[in-house]
Amino acid sequence: MSTDFDIQRIELMDDASVEAMKRLGGPGRLQMLNDLTMAGRLLMAARVKEQNPTWSSEQVAAEVARRLRDAAA
């Protein structure tokens, strides 16, 4: 994955989306971010479990944490 920043690749939100986000307010936007983050973690955990069916819940959780940690680096 390229780490180069390309201003031409940024997609702007349309006016309706901007207004919807404004109506949510700060707490609503934070809740939406949390919900999306948790959904992503659940999807990742499901994929890890599918790839490693004999792993315990603790092993799956550790692998999800590792992947998220490494993705942030």
Tens of pLDDT, residue by residue over 7-56, are: 777 888 899 999 999 999 999 999 999 999 999 999 999 999 999 999 99
Give residue 6's pLDDT: 73
- Cα separation, 25 vs 40, in Å, equals 23
pTM strictly above 0.85: no
Predicted pLDDT at 2: 55
Domain regions of the chain by residue span:
39-73
pLDDT of residue 3: 62
Nearest one of 70, 63, 58 to 41, comparing CA atoms: 63
d(CA 40, CA 64): 10
Taking phi over 0 as left and psi of -120 to 50 as alpha, with beta for the rest, 20 belongs to alpha
For residue range 58-72, list pLDDT tens digits in order. Answer: 999 999 999 999 987
